[in-house]
Amino acid sequence: MKKTLISLYYFIVIIIISSLNVSAEKHNVLRRGVSGDPTTLDPHKILTAFESTIMTDLFVALATTSAEDKIIPGSAESWTISEDGLKYTFKIRKNLKWSDGKPLSSYDFLYSLRRQVSPKTASRTVEYFRPIVNAQEIYKGTISVDKLGVYAPDPLTLIIELSYPAPYLMEILSIDGRPVPEHVIRKYGDSWIRPENIVVNGAFNLEEWVPGSFIKLKKNKMFYDADNVRLDNVYHIVVEDLNTGFRRFRAGEIDTLVLFPPEQLDFIKKNMPETLKIIPGLSTEFYIFNVKKKPFDDVRVRRALSMAIDREVLVKKVLKTGEIPAYSYVPPTMNNYPNRPKASFSKLSMTERRKKAIKLLSSAGFDKDNTLVVPLRYNTQDLQSRQASAISAMWKAIGVKTNLINTERKVLASDRANSNFSVARYLQVAGNYDATAFLLTLSRNLTARNFMQYDSENFNKLFLDAWHTNNITERNKKIYFAEEQAIIDHPMIPLYFYSSRRLIKPFVKGWVSNSRGVYPSRWVYIDR
């Protein structure tokens, strides 16, 4: 009898403890609904904004961002910038550790920046670091990586020297200057990012990755500010289908959702307005051309296709979620760049634009007897499918046939990166508040992301001039002329300035809307 009572006692205790654990998990877990699987977890090889969001949870650069998207100290506790803007000196925090307990020092940042600009890495973000002394020559393979203008005179000091001023550098370092663990990469090679091998320095560790389903992160006890991280776990849950994501959000399976079906907007505003966040972003939705592929090497074809798109109908009738029609590349949220050029046809009626578009196609050799066929690639998402169908109908009005090619997000990203397309969807998201971010992809010499293979001597000259100018007023004047040239050449069709559409449960606290769409889980907590 005594034994039975003891057993019953322990059974009750176990139930109580289990219920407490469930309650604790409920209060300390954030479930983020995201639009796809990452192509990689290597912070130097990411291709998409979604991957960058995960990287923000896993790695912390020299600087980082507050909940309000302000630049604050990260792995460096402080820094100084020389008067001429050419020398940055960082003081690294004492006693930093990787998640495996190994010490993290300035030498890790030296290794990481060298790795990031190395042609062997082929980083898609390398262009942002071109101002660093010798970075461009290293990426071209003309000099060795140890000649990079980055120095670590001691474990707690890092010096970065620039060839020319880069007023956006701290913003770039906060997002794309993430360190990687040399000791782990040397041991595992490309397999270092597998869940069982990966080592990080951010607020969270990678605990589990089930492709197509979720990525589970766990609070990193080695993080320098772990005491102020209130979440135990973060799930990045893959929901490529908008309707499925919305149902799971309403069912309580997801706490934050990146996108929702636009036809549900009125329902959301009426029935769950407290969850709705529509934020004008630092981003522009494009259809881009591979200008090396015929007939899209002909500017008349590119211009005609752009003219035929009714952007007002697209944003008001198809999307209906707060986007702004775009006739230029740089969005209005880039508040330090007030004047933007526009396509010359922007003020014409659609009737006039269609007539001019048909004439342009005719002069390029396309008519009812020789139909222009556009193979349009876009990602598997209901919203993108509807957008592509709507634009296909607009092109049909000028005698153009569209082959709609729906593909997975990561496949599209890979094909785009390798210029394996004719026309493709591309959402460009800026990593900083400098207007050059939206034109850099068009540069011949400064980027690995010129998917369009665009090469304009005049644009390159104008952009380089702007790129090397530190005075913001003069810089913006020069950016204007570079953007104007790009609009004339039309290697990309700007469709609209993107507004991020998010659903956030009211009990998710610490989430502050911002134009860059940077939301580190570090600042978030659950208050039910």
Judge whether residue 2 has pLDDT over 50.
Answer: no
Among residues 254, 238, 237, the alpha carbon closest in space to that of 246 is found at 254
Under 8 Å CB-to-CB from 219, ≥6 apart: which residues? Answer: 203, 204, 205, 226, 229, 231, 232, 233
Distances (CA, A) of 422 to 237, 290, 428: 32, 5, 18
* Half-sphere exposure (Cβ direction) of 458: Cα atoms closer than 13 Å: 9
Answer yes or no: are the C-beta atoms of 434 and 175 closer than 8 Å.
no
Give start-end residues of each CATH 3.10.105.10 domain in the chain: 282-499
C-beta separation of 203 from 219 below 8 A:
yes
Give residue 467's pLDDT.
85
201: exposed, middle or buried (Cβ count in 10 Å: 0-12, 13-18, 19+): buried
Sign of CA dihedral 253, 258, 262, 265: positive
Instruction: Tell me what pLDDT residue 191 has.
Output: 95
Does 4 or 165 have the greater pLDDT score?
A: 165
Which amino acid would we find at residue 129? F
Q: Cα separation of 62 and 150, whole Å?
A: 13
Examine the pLDDT at 18 and tell me if it is beyond 50: no
In the chain, which residues fall in CATH 3.90.76.10? 34-205+505-526
| Contact (CB, 8 A) for 133 and 148 | yes
Which H or E run includes 87?
strand 87-92
Residue 26 is predicted with a pLDDT of: 55
Mean pLDDT for the chain overall: 90
**Is pLDDT of 332 > 80?**
yes
How far apart (Å, rounded) are the C-alpha atoms in residues 221 and 241? 35
Distance, CA of 52 to CA of 67 (rounded, Å): 16
Structure-model confidence comparison of residues 471 and 204, the more confident one: 204
Report the b/e string of 453-486 with b at 16+ CB within 10 A: ebbbeebbebbbbbbebeeeeebbebbbbbbbbb
Of 68-77, 259-268, 358-367, the least confident: 259-268
Query: CA 518 to CA 220: how far, in whole Å?
Result: 20
In DSSP terms, 73 is beta-bridged to 63
Dihedral of alpha carbons 256, 259, 261, 262, sign: positive
Q: Yes or no: is domain 282-499 CATH 3.40.50.10860?
A: no
Category of 378 on φ-ψ map: left (φ > 0), alpha (ψ -120 to 50) or beta: beta
pLDDT tens, position by position, 21-66: 333 355 699 999 998 888 889 999 987 777 888 999 999 999 999 9
CATH of domain 34-205+505-526: 3.90.76.10
Supply the pLDDT for residue 516. 80
Structure token digits, residue 388 = 């592509």
d(CA 260, CA 263): 9
Give, in degrees to the nearest 5, the angle at Cα 92 between 91 and 96: 165
pLDDT range class, residue 175, cuts 50, 70, 90: confident
pLDDT greater than 80 at residue 13: no
Query: Over the range 430-440, which residues count as b (16 or more CB within 10 Å of their CB) and which as e?
Result: bbbbbbbbbbb
Q: What is the pLDDT of residues 69-90, one digit of tens each?
A: 899 999 999 999 999 899 999 9
Closest CA to 511 of 66, 74, 204: 66
For 446-492, the pLDDT digits (tens) are 777 899 999 999 999 999 898 888 888 888 899 999 999 999 999 99
User: What is the torsional sign of CA 222, 224, 229, 233?
Assistant: negative
The residue-averaged pLDDT of 417-422 equals 92
**What is the pLDDT at residue 336?**
78
Does pLDDT of 16 surpass 50? no
Average pLDDT of 312-317?
Answer: 94
515 vs 85, higher pLDDT: 85
What is the model's pLDDT at position 15?
A: 34
User: 426-443 pLDDT, tens per residue?
Assistant: 998 887 788 888 898 898
* Percentage above 70 pLDDT, the chain: 95
Contact by Cβ (8 Å): 431, 437: yes
More confident residue, 135 or 127: 135
pLDDT for 218-252, tens place per residue? Answer: 999 999 999 999 999 999 999 988 899 999 999 99
Give the distance from CA 268 to its chain's centroid.
Answer: 26
E strand or H helix at 501? strand 492-504
